[in-house]
A = this chain, B = another copy of it.
């Protein structure tokens, strides 16, 4: 049974500070990295320094003799021969310490010692004999016939043609177009570099393993660990109480977790294994580089006639592929669409899902192309997009969206940004020129069941909320507490949350795909409603009134008919007897035959120095249809954070592999540039478009975390074009790239 949608809300939608703000800011919050256990050992990993090598011999005898060293693990240890890295067919192609190292940073050996320093020192005493091999690090090269092979059988992850899609008649579509444009767009490889590094603490109690992990999903890790160690799920406990960011890099079980567990079992002591910042650059994942050849046809009236995308992506050395075609096939009305994608292996770090995997890349291509088409047909870019709004999901058999606020995102975003004025503003006549650009976007995923939540109301009216979700730093706990506060009228500071512990909290899938709020908040709401119904029932007995006439208002149950009939929750006799009321809530199914999608439009004004190539993003405005705003503060956190990350894609972030050695040359926060406060515009605005979508889920929410960064880079690139007249097709737009392009125009 679906509960009624909220009307006016008392708590939900308001700007509410994090309920764990004190703990996070004071240092009282125990992140997995902070876990200290008696007798704990510290482990460290020796990594392959070559892009491609065979480990011929590992001699750890000197390391084992070092002070404080308690154990070493290599591929020679039978218990460490755990299959790893499934290929596209699910067959593992590697091992925990596989002697065949297919990229820099692969795990070769590990040491556990009394201190982290002793472990690090011992690593240097492990003698490894490597046989280096030829390597291929660029996807175009890997794609070529006769290229060095990453895996036996060639460099295609899937046979070419797999997953290609087509609708309508593309050739006919191009023939009908007034304007056809074709362009190749490129995005660079971005590294997941979360505030909190990756790692685990592992401890055995008899046959039971407990792991404190920095993870986006404790239950997913539990399942993966149980499979890796061949244990029943009941014997594997994964805890992930505080998290410092994941962005997709903490969705999968890390080798470090298994290594910590093996060491803990071997030594009979708890073991902590956290990666250094530098190690994370090599080994925890990335948003792979993409090359997208996009061809588009449009009629003068703004009707799209055909779209054709040919993409090449790379997964790195092992599969975890990212496709980019979804928005081409779905975002704008277009009858004739062809999408072809290739995925190749390279001798580089494995890709992993990274905040809206594939979507910012696709936007980089599609939204610049839309900008170019609009110019060609002399139409305003916003108007051009408004002309092509879809009410159904063309990529999903033309099923209707539960809602789309895309048109309103475009209109409202343009209004708050002052789009017309910005486009008409004088661009400047010195070195610095200004421009305004925009882009649309969507996110192509909606979560669904299972998710269970338990709300327990105590005799004093305070609440314990039990959810399995990890709060990645996004404010999940705060939002869930707000849902309880809304339904039960309990102040937020009387709601205590237990989360992200496979042994003690309720099942939910990992927090990824912008699904957490839309999947878990309806479960929490259902649990709270069950508690409310039980309280009303108790009051009905005590007040001798029909339950149907009673409602819970500000901690009191009141009769609508005779307002003197009222009782405070903590004065309910049955509650005193029972001590608690427990409500169990479960996430219901998504609506059948419909598609849930969030939409966005973002607008940027930039300033470009035509002499140095420097660019500054002066201001941005975002308009998002992510359904209901649950917490205005966390909503803005997501949008502003997403836009800042999008600026990284547009302007600064880029893994650089040395062509001579195949090694990453900027595996650190000094040389790999993520945007700082100085790179983010001081002026960021966010409009929430709420389509009152009561179909998507019982709290009317859609995903937000990922769409927040989808259009950003393209909007910036379009603004650069507006300022300079130069189209930057390769991200990031560094000063060097910009000045090269600008000077080419001057010469041209």
> Whose C-beta in chain B lies nearest to the C-beta of A25?
B206
* With A28-B205, A452-B582 as contacts: A223 and B459 at CB distance below 8 Å: yes
- Which residues of A (443-465) have their CB < 8 Å from a CB of B? 449-450, 452, 454, 456, 458-464
**In the complex, per-residue mask of A37-49: 1 if CB is within 8 Å of any chain B CB, else 0:** 0100000000000
Is A493 engaged at the interface, CB distance under 8 Å to the other chain?
Answer: yes
Is A283 engaged at the interface, CB distance under 8 Å to the other chain?
Answer: no
Q: How many copies does the complex hold?
A: 2
Is A618 engaged at the interface, CB distance under 8 Å to the other chain?
Answer: no
- Cβ-defined contact, B235 with A496, below 8 A: yes
- Cβ-defined contact, A460 with B232, below 8 A: yes
Which of the listed residues A20, A226, A450, A579 has the most CB atoms from chain B within 10 Å of its own CB? A579
- Cβ-defined contact, A504 with B498, below 8 A: yes
- Cβ-defined contact, A205 with B23, below 8 A: yes
A92 to chain B, nearest CB (A): 19
CA distance A461 to B235 in the complex (A): 12
- Which residues of A (564-594) have their CB < 8 Å from a CB of B? 577-580, 582, 584
Is A640 engaged at the interface, CB distance under 8 Å to the other chain?
Answer: no
CA distance A234 to B579 in the complex (A): 13
Other-chain contact of A503, B36, B464, B494 (Cβ < 8 Å): B464
- Cβ-defined contact, A501 with B503, below 8 A: no
- Cβ-defined contact, A206 with B22, below 8 A: yes
Is A700 engaged at the interface, CB distance under 8 Å to the other chain?
Answer: no
- Which residues of A (198-220) have their CB < 8 Å from a CB of B? 204-208, 219
| Residues of chain B lying within 8 A (CB to CB) of residue A206 | 20, 22-23, 26, 28
| Residues of chain B lying within 8 A (CB to CB) of residue A715 | none
A306 to chain B, nearest CB (A): 39
Other-chain contact of A496, B28, B208, B450 (Cβ < 8 Å): B208
| Residues of chain B lying within 8 A (CB to CB) of residue A207 | 22, 493
Is A712 engaged at the interface, CB distance under 8 Å to the other chain?
Answer: no
Is A495 engaged at the interface, CB distance under 8 Å to the other chain?
Answer: yes
A485 to chain B, nearest CB (A): 12
Q: Could you list 13 examples of A-B contacts with CB < 8 Å?
A: A22-B206, A23-B205, A28-B206, A36-B38, A223-B579, A232-B462, A233-B459, A233-B460, A450-B579, A450-B580, A454-B454, A464-B502, A498-B504
Apart from A36-B38, A233-B459, list 9 A-B contacts with CB within 8 A.
A219-B579, A232-B458, A232-B493, A450-B579, A456-B507, A466-B504, A501-B504, A507-B579, A582-B584
A residues sitting closer than 8 Å to B (CB atoms) are 20, 22-23, 26, 28-30, 36, 38, 204-208, 219, 223, 226, 232-235, 237, 449-450, 452, 454, 456, 458-464, 466, 493-496, 498, 501-507, 509, 577-580, 582, 584
